[in-house]
Amino acid sequence: MRKILPQLGILCCLPLVSLGAVNIPDPNFRAWLSANYPLAMSGTMLDNLHPTVQATTSLNVFGQNIANLSGVWAFENLQYLVASDNPITNSGVHIPMGTAFVYFSNCLLTGSFTVPDHVQSIHLDNNQLTSIALASGSVLTNLHARNNLLTSITGQWSGLGVSADLAYNQLASLPGFAQNFYPGYLDVSHNQLTTLPEMAWMPGSTLLASHNLITSIGDQEFFYSYTTLDVSYNPLTGGIVELPEGLLSLTITNTQLPCLPWIPFNLQSLI
């Protein structure tokens, strides 16, 4: 017994760590957490059962020089994760289950990126991604991936009034999304498209497709829901067969359009 008691005394002097403690390997992430969650941090461990962690629904680590978000899943009730302007590579991306709004713009992401099915809105602008995959059962409504190296987007995407900014990429076509995919805003300018995206559209939607390789616009059913259409800086040598009756704004600057089609009565802007 005399030999055991001193050992018990040493154990009692050690800092108490919750059974739910999570390791935070990135030193800069640890430093930020220590400054913002001092009562929940113990060395490299974050207590995910601490009230301040449990109460957190939004985490903003913008520009903190963090390379790895491992351990962020300790925030089990997180809805918003802002991690833009950090040197995060693909292996350093961690998104807690249930987090709906995610920001990874201006990071070091490359190659392929899979959007988890629970994410509703994600910002991946200004990276070097070549493809984006949507997980099965995706509830995504907003995708922002401007200024990457995208050549493909795969997976099923469905929803009403969804928004996508895919400008400044290398897309030659867009995939056939689910039949109940109805975008309200789509920017695919500065890509390599040869035809307009063929998909159903929400009434009053906007399609920005300037600076592509589109040679003609045919009379297709999906074309009739636009109110704003920008096809400037495209060849358009094959002309435009017909414009939708509800079109309010049309931009055809710097094209080789041989002649104007019938102009809708309600058109308010022609550039």
The two structure tokens encoding residue 121: 């809105």
Other beta carbons less than 10 A from residue 23's beta carbon: 12
Query: In the numeric block, which tokens belong to residue 232?
Result: 């400037």
**Range with top average pLDDT, 102-106, 158-162, 205-209:** 102-106
Beta bridge partners of 228: 206, 249
Measuring CA to CA, which residue among 251, 257, 253 is closest to residue 233? 253
At 92 the three-state DSSP class reads helix
Residue, of 158 and 192, whose pLDDT is higher: 192
pLDDT of residue 204: 81
Lowest-confidence segment of 46-50, 69-73, 134-138, 140-144 by average pLDDT: 134-138
- Which percentage of the chain shows pLDDT scores above 70? 89
CA angle (80 as vertex; 186, 164 as ends), nearest 5: 5
Between CA 186 and CA 184 the distance in angstroms is 7
pTM of this prediction? 0.88
Instruction: Please classify residue 65 by burial: count the beta carbons closer than 10 Å to its beta carbon, then call 0-12 exposed, 13-18 middle and 19+ buried.
Output: middle
pLDDT at 53: 97
Q: 175 vs 116, which has greater pLDDT?
A: 116
pLDDT at position 1: 38
Binning pLDDT at 50, 70 and 90, where does residue 29 land? very high
